[in-house]
């Protein structure tokens, strides 16, 4: 049993071993979504990680606390990261670097087959420019190993120029340090629900690089919370993503000092709303974005949260989430990308 005055570190004491650069102090609220829940036949709430107080918010703030904690421990003066042109991780990394006094260097990968002006110049791209990030376009092989290798080459150039860069890699051959941020988030949410004396049946979130999904799952299981955690695929097919989440969750459990043996049944991933691929719209994503906006005044983005919400809807339609069950949807942010997808979002909209 937990006590009312417990903290995340009381539940996960191993987190204290890892340096953390605190980027926020007040846990985001869990808000009800009664009208959207009624539409879906469930009791629905949203965890507002989109309101984390760094440069328009988002889940990556939690991950970056641990990456920057390590960067500062290593006396880095700059940080390097890679991501898609409209990457939220990249934007939040650039903003966090400025907040903590480091230089941001960002590699933007051409992952999405879009070349209109809004996509290439608006949204996160504009914010990266406002934040003064040094931008390196990357049009090479679209796999994590190649992108990370190019990032390391840039880091080498910076070192030869006298800099001390810290590199945030995305590939699975590097430690899942950012996942600790979502292990901590699981403990945070557990305590929020513990104070209410009620618990959700399901947690639903987007599953891309996997550290939000795996970190949350590892944290929940490490504290004995057996909630069903559903990851909605935003980049990879379910089979590939399930293997990735199993590996990452196991690694993060080990980092937390937990002896929990991750089971295949713990890994719930759904790719029914992934087509036609990463960063590309489909009708179910567009509908989910509109339902959230019209039912709740809640904005979700086309790449991550819109697709994750579409996946949640699909799970209810297929009975994977039963009518009447309680669900918390983790809003991972991504709002700047809305402006990069204007034509896609407004297709068919009448005023």
CB count in 10 Å sphere of residue 27: 16
Please, what's the b/e burial string for 328-343 (b: 16 or more CB within 10 A of its CB; e: otherwise)?
bbbbbbbbbbbbbbee
Does residue 164 have an active-site annotation?
no
- Intra-chain end-to-end CA distance of the chain, in Å: 53
Main-chain dihedrals φ then ψ at residue 109, nearest 5 degrees: -95, 140
**Sequence-ordered list of residues with C-beta below 8 angstroms from that of 262, at least 6 positions apart, any chain:** 217, 218, 221, 246, 249, 250, 253
**Sequence-ordered list of residues with C-beta below 8 angstroms from that of 284, at least 6 positions apart, any chain:** 273, 310, 313, 314
Main-chain dihedrals φ then ψ at residue 261, nearest 5 degrees: -95, 110
Candidates 78, 87, 122, 209; catalytic one: 87
Pairwise CA distance, residues 9 & 67, whole Å:
18
Tell me which residues are annotated as active site: 87
């Amino acid at each position: 049993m937990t006590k009312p005055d417990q903290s995340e570190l009381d539940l996960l004491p191993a987190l204290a071993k890892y340096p953390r650069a605190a980027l926020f102090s007040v846990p985001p609220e869990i808000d009800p979504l009664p009208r959207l829940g009624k539409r879906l036949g469930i009791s629905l709430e949203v965890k507002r990680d989109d309101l984390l107080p760094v440069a328009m918010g988002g889940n990556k703030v939690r991950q970056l606390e641990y990456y920057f904690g390590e960067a500062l421990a290593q006396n880095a003066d700059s940080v390097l990261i890679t991501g898609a042109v409209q990457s939220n991780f990249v934007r939040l990394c650039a903003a966090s670097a400025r907040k903590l006094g480091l230089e941001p260097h960002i590699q933007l990968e051409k992952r999405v087959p879009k070349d209109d002006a809004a996509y290439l110049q608006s949204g996160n791209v504009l914010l990266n420019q406002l934040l003064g990030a040094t931008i390196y376009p990357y049009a090479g092989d679209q796999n994590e190993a190649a992108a990370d290798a190019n990032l390391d080459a840039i880091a080498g150039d910076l070192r030869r120029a006298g800099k001390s860069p810290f590199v945030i890699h995305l590939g699975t051959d590097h430690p899942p340090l950012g996942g600790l941020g979502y292990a901590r988030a699981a403990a945070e949410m557990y305590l929020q629900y513990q104070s209410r004396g009620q618990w959700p049946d399901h947690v639903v979130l987007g599953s891309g690089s996997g550290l939000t999904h795996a970190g949350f799952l590892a944290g929940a299981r490490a504290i004995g919370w057996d909630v069903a955690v559903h990851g909605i695929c935003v980049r990879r097919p379910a089979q590939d993503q399930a293997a990735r989440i199993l590996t990452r969750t196991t690694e993060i459990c080990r980092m937390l000092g937990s002896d929990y043996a991750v089971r295949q049944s713990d890994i719930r991933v759904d790719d029914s709303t992934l087509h036609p691929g990463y960063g590309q719209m489909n009708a179910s994503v567009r509908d989910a974005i509109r339902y959230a906006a019209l039912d709740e005044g809640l904005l979700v983005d086309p790449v991550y949260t819109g697709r994750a919400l579409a996946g949640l809807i699909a799970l209810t339609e297929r009975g994977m989430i039963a009518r009447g069950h309680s669900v918390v949807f983790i809003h991972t942010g991504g709002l700047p990308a809305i402006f990069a997808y204007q034509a896609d979002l407004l297709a068919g909209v009448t005023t």
